[in-house]
């Protein structure tokens, strides 16, 4: 009921969906306006790179190593049926560089980093710390959102290459134990099937996924409400939405890269 005593009906589910899309679109546009104007909080950016990137290394190391090891073990029986176990290094390198390394890294960071950003900014929102920053003449969007989004965008490609390296080491360990393949021979065969387009497609994926994780987590946290319950909802929604968008982006980028590859 409004101030005139009239009942105001709430928008329907479809209307609410498009309203959220509108707010999210403006949130993303604001990022591009704020990111390229001074001042830039470089110290906060470095702190976020350390917090979001370096602290993710233990989990990424274990996951990447196991991914390469398990994928190799699962692929060996199928290739053995055709007497083609010598193709294992090439098969694993193509799978890891083209798909597994970017996707696994993004999903791990969506769960760990995305939820952290959503919970942290959500907590600041419901406790009115963001409002206090505005009163003290500090741009909270530039200080909190821009630094985190740029940190995730910058760090995810680096973490992706690290995941690929660790995954290849896990694959080498399994291949060496079964076929006694040397280290040099393994990596020569592995990277003989990887071309320039594969590297660039993986970098584009990592940059896109990193930006998605950062902007979704920041948007959910920046718009949290309803106290501590809202903080939990912001963290959970950041993870779910990020993962959903990552899979959509994976389909689009793979389709584009395959289109370019067939036209070369």
pLDDT one-digit tens code per residue, 144-191: 999 999 999 999 999 999 999 999 999 999 888 888 888 888 888 888
pTM: 0.88
How far apart CA 52 and CA 167 sit, in angstroms, is: 21
Residue pair 61/166 in contact by the 8 Å Cβ criterion:
yes
Per-residue b/e over 89-103, b at no fewer than 16 CB within 10 Å? bbbbbbbbbbebbbb
Predicted confidence at residue 11, as pLDDT, reads 64
């Amino acid at each position: 009921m409004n101030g005139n005593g009239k009942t105001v009906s709430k928008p329907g589910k479809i209307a609410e969906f498009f309203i959220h899309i509108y707010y999210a679109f403006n949130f993303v546009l604001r990022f591009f306006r704020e990111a390229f104007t001074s001042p830039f909080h470089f110290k906060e950016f470095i702190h976020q790179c350390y917090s979001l990137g370096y602290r993710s290394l233990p989990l990424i190391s274990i996951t990447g190593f196991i991914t390469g090891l398990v994928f190799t073990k699962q692929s060996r029986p199928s290739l053995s049926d055709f007497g083609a176990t010598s193709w294992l290094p090439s098969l694993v390198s193509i799978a890891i560089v083209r798909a597994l390394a970017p996707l696994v890294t993004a999903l791990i960071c969506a769960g760990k980093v995305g939820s952290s950003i959503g919970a942290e900014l959500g907590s600041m929102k419901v406790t009115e710390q963001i409002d206090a920053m505005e009163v003290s003449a500090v741009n909270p969007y530039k200080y909190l959102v821009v630094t985190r989004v740029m940190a995730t965008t910058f760090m995810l490609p680096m973490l992706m290459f690290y995941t690929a390296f660790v995954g290849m080491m896990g694959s080498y360990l399994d291949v060496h134990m079964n076929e006694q393949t040397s280290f040099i021979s393994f990596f020569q065969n592995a990277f003989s099937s990887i071309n320039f387009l594969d590297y660039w497609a993986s970098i584009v994926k990592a940059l896109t996924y990193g930006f998605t994780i950062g902007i979704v987590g920041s948007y959910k946290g920046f718009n949290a409400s309803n106290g501590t319950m809202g903080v939990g909802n912001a963290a959970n929604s950041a993870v779910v939405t990020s993962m959903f968008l990552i899979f959509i982006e994976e389909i689009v980028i793979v389709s584009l890269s395959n289109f370019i590859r067939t036209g070369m």
